[in-house]
Amino acid sequence: MTRMLFWAVLVTATAFGQGQGAFEAAVIKPAAPLDNAKVLAAMQSGGQMPIGPHVGVNRADYLYMTLKSLIVYAYRVRPYQVTGPDWLDQQRFDIIAKYPEGATKDDAPQMLQSLLEERFQLKVHRSVEERPVLGLVVGRGGPKLHASADKPLPIDDNAPLKPGERKVDGPGGHPMIVRTDVARGAITVEMGEQGRMSYKVDAKAVPPVIHIELSMVTMTGFASMMTQMLAQTAGSAGRQIVDMTNIQGNYEASFDLSLDDMLAMVRNAGVEIPGSTPRPSAGSEVGNVPIAAEPSGGGLSLTDAVRSMGLRLESRRAPVELLVVDHAEKQPTGN
């Protein structure tokens, strides 16, 4: 069960990329339901998880991904930026693609973009519109933050990756390092100059919670990571969280998130968690921000975690860069 709790954390990670070109060959097929035995085996061995983008030296596999998530990766945007029909986030696909001679994994996102345009007849345009966002602002009692003694360093693109590490592109194309420690059930996200965030399942707590540690984090980095969490929790209704605190510097913080909220994130992503039973939602605040967990649950909601730092989320409006899906077929053309 502990490893499945770790899986609940792991599947919320998101990857981004960049590149140019077209695949030499690609097969697209509907994704089969996740095999939980294979998931557990991959976790125990530290092997490749059967979900998400896996971009290698000669080929790229995109496993158990919706058309919306494929668009997010191909066009280098965030989930809240993609606007289109609801079905974009329903059917899941597996794509196995081979690079042409001379291409590298840096070319994979653009090659995927070309593939989606050809096989799904995808047509999009970019737009900037004023949209509802969630402003990260200072609470009435002032911030409750602990300044970091150290400063984070930028990600070194030339540094070799260590075992258990993978490099992804974060918001704005900034590189990030994701480090997975299966034995400890922990994930660390190195955000370069925006700081570090670590996740760990505390299975000894009753009920278990997700322990989060923020180290040397900026408010911009914190807002970015919360945007990802909220997108998973609220699905397509998730909003961008924008740092409006005017707080400079780097800070330390830690809190325990409700496991129920984390399991809800995974279920909203379409993944069934063995041994977990969905329970009625406690409701939501304005802007689809989850409220506190039920008294019987453990840990905080995302909103209450923010409040514990002397901050709050407030409904605002701001210009948002959008990728508008003008047309897409529900099923791809033949392989």
Q: What is the pLDDT of residue 283?
A: 41
Measured between alpha carbons, how far is residue 206 from residues 201, 210, 259, 298, 299 in Å?
A: 12, 12, 11, 7, 10
The rounded mean pLDDT for the chain is 78
Whether the pLDDT of residue 8 is over 70: the answer is: no
Q: Using omega within 30 degrees of 0 as the cis cutoff, is the peptide bond preceding 280 cis?
A: no
Angle between helices 2-10 and 36-45 (to 10 degrees): 90
Give me the mean pLDDT over the 134-139 stretch.
94
pLDDT grade for 276, boundaries at 50, 70 and 90? very low
- In this structure, of 4-8, 164-168, 173-177, the range with the lowest mean pLDDT score is 4-8
What is the rounded CA–CA span in Å between residue 300 and residue 303?
Answer: 8
pLDDT grade for 292, boundaries at 50, 70 and 90? very low
- Between 235 and 138, name the one with better pLDDT: 138
Helix or strand (DSSP H, E) at 39: helix 36-45
Measured between alpha carbons, how far is residue 174 from residues 2, 125, 165, 167, 195 in Å?
A: 32, 23, 16, 10, 12
Q: What is the pLDDT of residues 62-91, one digit of tens each?
A: 999 999 999 998 998 888 889 999 999 889
Strand 311-327 and strand 123-138: the pairing is: antiparallel
What is the rounded CA–CA span in Å between residue 32 and residue 109?
Answer: 23
pLDDT grade for 47, boundaries at 50, 70 and 90? low
Which ranges constitute the DSSP H helices of 252-301?
259-268
What is the rounded CA–CA span in Å between residue 264 and residue 272?
Answer: 10
Q: What is the pLDDT of residue 224?
A: 87
- Between 281 and 52, name the one with better pLDDT: 52
Q: What is the pLDDT of residue 192?
A: 92
pLDDT grade for 291, boundaries at 50, 70 and 90? very low
Whether the pLDDT of residue 53 is over 60: the answer is: yes
What is the rounded CA–CA span in Å between residue 23 and residue 58?
Answer: 10
The alpha-carbon radius of gyration of the chain (Å, integer) is: 20
Query: Residue 87: which residues within 8 A CB-CB, separation 6 or more?
Result: 330
Instruction: For tokens 């300044």, name the residue.
Output: 147
pLDDT grade for 168, boundaries at 50, 70 and 90? confident
Q: Which of 102, 96, 108, 93 is nearest to 22 (CA)?
A: 108
Whether the pLDDT of residue 6 is over 70: the answer is: no
pLDDT grade for 263, boundaries at 50, 70 and 90? low
Whether the pLDDT of residue 280 is over 60: the answer is: no
Give me the mean pLDDT over the 47-66 stretch.
83
Q: What is the pLDDT of residue 9?
A: 45
Q: What is the pLDDT of residue 11?
A: 43
Asked if residue 6 lies in contact with residue 46, where contact means CB atoms within 8 angstroms, the answer is no
- Between 323 and 273, name the one with better pLDDT: 323
Q: What is the pLDDT of residue 268?
A: 52
